[in-house]
Structure 1
Amino acid sequence: MALEPAQPATSSGIPPLIRRNTLLLAITQAVVGAGMQLIPALGAISVVQLMGSSTWSGLATALAGLARMLIAYPVGRVSDSRGRKTGLYIGLLLALLGSLMTGVGMGLGSFWLFTAGVLVFGAGVGATQQLRVAAADMYPPQRRSEGISFVLMGSLLGALLSPLIVALAERLAVEVGQSPLAVAWLIVPLCVAPAFGLTALVRPDPKQIALRLRDYYPQLSSQSLSQVPSRANSSFPRKVAIWAGIAAQGQMVMLMAMTSLALHQQGCSFNLISLSVTLHVLGMFAFSWPVGRLADRIGRKPVMLGGLLLSALGALLVGFTHEYLTITLGTFLVGLGWCGTYNGATTVVADTTAPGERGRAIGVLDVWSNGAGAVLPILAGFLVEGVGIWAIGVAGVLLLIYPAVMVSRLAEVSPGRYEG
């Protein structure tokens, strides 16, 4: 396929073609994110309804995290060899099939079909994380965090759509005589389907843009476009990014898996629970763009450290308060902390990799972080059952200590430039 000619940058410094592609990727992120939010909002409740016990309440979140972990590196290899759009198509197809399986499983009361659906859906969501790689490909180091964060802001629209899906499901469930949990999942494919067309409109493939970045940003010097350090100097920054990703993703998923259950046990309606999750997601994505700009201006390191601090404060509010508003504030802060830490970690990996290895490198980050997201909700379920909700507040703080020490040791001489 012939490549589209590079267009000169506008006054914003970003070429029109790049801005168009970024918007398409952000909308794709939105429609996938609408379904993704059902896992923290309804996953624990669904498992309790199917199994009759809260001991394994974190299972759905853990399975989704496990699937995201298992798919991350293979889809990264595919996107490095076949292009980012191929990886996205794989993810969208899996997400569509998985949501159908999950909805049918809930409707039939089949625990095994439900869990299989969650695994397939989680794999689909994991594969669509190549959206971040695609965004990183299209931007120079000076604007890279901003580009990644703008695409991730698409999840903000997804967060607004998620409560509408739940509300619509509750209304339709009465008419069709089905569980609202089942109906909610069966609505998700209608959200995912348009993303195939949106992805097709992204051209050229972002990996091709990365290989010709100088053509799209002629106003920047060759040195500023070639900041990938040597393998020796990139090893420690990537290790720091992985620890930060483990902390941000693992703690966030653990807390959100248990928070929805805690609110349900307090008698909160599905709508209130969905609203709480929505506010959490607002924390994750509403400030993504300014946080990305901040990381490009002052550096990835201070943004990651600030994110870890906010996540710790949020964990304390979730674990040690018992009011809906304060718990929801805690989940919002956990989301905002995740925004700074995980976006920063992703950008560090992108800063220290060439286009031909970037998909796999960010896949490695996702393997470790989603591995934490798979294990910690299971452990949290036992903690809540045996000790109480306050225990995950303590655990949520302890998880962040070592990663914070690692981030503090990162030698970032200027935004996006590191020493070993």
Structure 2
Amino acid sequence: MTSTTSAGTTAHISDPAQAQHRILRVLVASQVLSGAGLAAGVTVGALLAQDMLGSTSLAGLPSALFTAGSALAAVAVGRISQSRGRRPGLATGYLIGAVGSAGVIVSAVLDNPVLLFIALFVYGAGTATNLQARYAGADLAAPGHRARAVSTVLVATTLGGVAGPNLAAPTGTFAETLGIPNLAGPFILSGAAYALAALVLAVWLRPDPLLLARAVAQAKEADAAAANPTDDSAHTSEGRRGVVLGALVMILTQLVMVAIMTMTPVHMHDHGHGTAASGLVIAIHIGAMYLPSPLTGWLVDHYGRMKVAAASGITLLAAGVLAAIAPGDSVALLALALALLGLGWNFGLVSGTAIITDTVPLATRAKTQGLVDVSIAVAGATGGMASGIMVAATSYPVLALTGGVLSLALLPAVAATAYRR
């Protein structure tokens, strides 16, 4: 295939496999940048709100605003990608995130909480775009390598995610030299990182993976239809089941992960641990969320999507049980529980993404993926809000155990889908 099929698909790369290697390199570069932008801003968002308001009562609002902005942006990025390709969709999402970062800086200079909250909502677009980039890695991947392509993009986020928080102090000092409040400093890094990620994608993500994948698929379908015209109603039905299962896997894992993760630092604080101990546990958790991605991708491609999705539910159950029975003074056991929690989430995200990519037609893939990511964002917000209410009404062990048991709902869903095949 050498002709240009749509804007953004170039003719000089005729081999999809060759194009895939280039696309993954560009996506990895953009994810390293965007990971720094995401982590740097999230690190101080709550502290900035608390400092500006002089109260902790609304310090949790930034997280809710990130999530709300992320949900709305997931729809927008998905629709732009659907109509024009991954390159304009992802680049636009990161540019909006950069604008949100600039808005946070301006609000800090003006000491304007209303502007801060609006800017944080806009900043959430970077979160959604960072997550949706994983789909671009799978567009041109061969069916047996899709999960590994997704995992390559995911693990790149870790590099920037580790660097971002560690640059909070120096960027704060730099901000002060410019007459900007210290806590707004990390948003200078966020804005620059998101803008650079957008630039990398806009300039180098060529050919556009989604548009080229469509062109290749259309050519194959035309040849297949000419050779053996068939009714595709069964394929459509299977695609619907795949979307439901893939979405369920990612929604449940996000709900359980966020609920337990959110309340673990609070649980540790109640047992006399300082921020250093809880920070270590969360750092181990985040590492377990992303660093195993290459191994997870290989497992999904080698052993199948369904088996790893089932393993996600079992791993989350183990995490919930261990968190529930771990003594409150045992940092080691809580760290192990949170590591299992991150690993279970990783199993669910990679396998769920592969299931969605396998079963959704290219004609509607980007839009469907955007809507699925909205559901994931809503699940995360629900888990975060419900976790505090549940712990207040019962206890952290009850929350952890409930989350673990809830994750077992994946097993009958996976078994039913596997049986129908």
Q: TM-score, normalised by structure 2?
A: 0.82
> Which residue of structure 2 lines up, in the alignment, with residue 375 of structure 1?
382
Q: Is the 8 A contact 2:145 2:301 kept in 1?
A: yes
Instruction: Give the conservation status (yes or no) of the 8 Å contact 1:47–1:60.
Output: yes
Question: Cα 1:17–1:237, aligned 2, differ >3 Å: closer, same or farther?
Answer: closer
Q: Is the 8 A contact 2:260 2:403 kept in 1?
A: yes
Match of 1:85 among 70, 84, 87: 87
1:151-170 matched pairs, under 5 angstroms: 151-169=153-171
Match 2:10 to one of 3, 7, 13: 3
- How many residues get paired? 402
Q: 1:191 aligns with which of 190, 193, 198?
A: 193
Q: Which SS does the other structure have where 1:382 is aligned?
A: helix
Q: Which amino acid aligns with 2:375?
A: W
Question: Is the aligned partner of 1:203 residue 2:222?
Answer: no
**Alignment correspondent of 2:400:** 393
Name the CA shift for 1:353/1:214 in 2 (closer, same or farther; >3 Å): closer
Match of 2:141 among 139, 142, 153: 139
Going from structure 1 to structure 2, the CA distance change for 1:255 and 1:110 (only over 3 Å counts) comes to farther
- Report the equivalent of 1:238: 243
> Who is 1:313 aligned against?
318
Deviation at 1:268, TM superposition (A): 3.6
The verdict on how the C-alpha distance between 1:342 and 1:128 changes in structure 2, with shifts beyond 3 A counting, is same
- 1:294 lines up with 2:306 in the alignment: no
Q: Compute the displacement of 1:401 (Å).
A: 2.9
Alignment of 1:242-281 (within 5 A): 242-260=247-265, 268-269=274-275, 275-281=280-286
Q: Which has the larger radius of gyration?
A: 2
Question: In structure 1, how many angstroms separate the alpha carbons of the residues matched to 2:268 and 2:187?
Answer: 21
Code of the residue aligned with 1:193 in structure 2: it is: A
Matches of 2:99 and 2:385, distance apart in 1? 25
Do 1:76 and 1:363's aligned partners in 2 also have CA atoms closer than 8 Å?
yes
| Deviation per residue, 1:374-402 (Å, 9 max, x gap) | 22212223334554544432342243132
Cα deviation digits, residues 151-177 of structure 1 (max 9, x gap)? 111112122212322342465577778
Listed one character per residue, the Cα deviations across residues 141-198 of structure 1 (whole Å, up to 9, x for unaligned) are 1111111111111112122212322342465577778765332233211222221231
State the one-letter code of the partner of 2:163.
L
Query: For the structure 1 residues 283 and 324, does the alpha-carbon distance in structure 2 shift closer, same or farther, using more than 3 Å as the test?
Result: same
How many Å apart are 1:61 and its aligned residue?
2.5
State the percentage of identical aligned residues: 26
When structure 1 is superposed on structure 2, of 125-134 and 387-396 the one drifting more is 387-396
Q: 1:80 to 1:66 in 2, by over 3 A?
A: same
Letter in 2 for 1:202: L
> Structure 1 residues 369-378 or 110-119, which shifts more?
110-119
Q: Structure 2: how far apart are the matches of 1:77 and 1:328?
A: 39
Q: Deviations over 1:202-248 (max 9, x none)?
A: 1111112212447999xxx999xxx9971111222221111111111
CA 1:30/1:403 → structure 2, altered by over 3 Å: closer, same or farther? same
Unaligned runs of 5+ in 2: 1-6
Equivalent residue, structure 1, for 2:369: 362
After TM superposition, the structure 1 = structure 2 runs for residues 62-141 of structure 1, keeping only pairs within 5 Å, are 62-105=64-107, 110-141=112-143
**Matched AA of 1:203:** R
Q: CA deviation at 1:28?
A: 1.0
56 and 373 in structure 1: CA distance in 2 versus 1, 3 angstrom threshold = farther
Between stretches 64-73 and 196-205, larger displacement belongs to 64-73
Q: TM-score, normalised by structure 1?
A: 0.83
Please name the residue that 1:12 is paired with: none
Aligned residues of 1:279 and 1:331 also touching (Cα < 8 A): yes
5+ long unaligned stretches in structure 1: 10-14, 413-417
Q: Secondary structure of the residue that 2:207 maps to in structure 1?
A: coil
Give yes or no for contact 2:86–2:210 (8 Å, CA) kept in 1: yes
Q: CA deviation at 1:324?
A: 3.9
How far off is 1:281 after superposition? 2.4
CA distance in 1, matches of 2:332, 2:42: 18
Matches within 5 A, 1:342-357: 342-357=349-364
Distance 1:273 1:97, change over 3 A: farther
Give the drift of 1:321: 4.4
Q: What's the RMSD between the two structures over aligned residues?
A: 3.4
Structure 1 residue 96: Cα displacement: 0.8
Deviation at 1:308, TM superposition (A): 2.3
The code of the aligned residue for 2:204 comes to L
Contact 2:313–2:409 under 8 Å retained in 1: no
Paired with 1:252 and 1:187, the residues of 2 have a C-alpha distance of: 28
Deviation per CA, 1:21-80, whole angstroms, max 9, x where unpaired? 101102211211223235664455555555677666643323322222223233212211
C-alpha separation between the residues in 2 aligned to 1:58 and 1:177? 26
Distance 1:134 1:179, change over 3 A: same
Q: Give the 3-state SS of the residue equivalent to 2:408 in structure 1.
A: helix
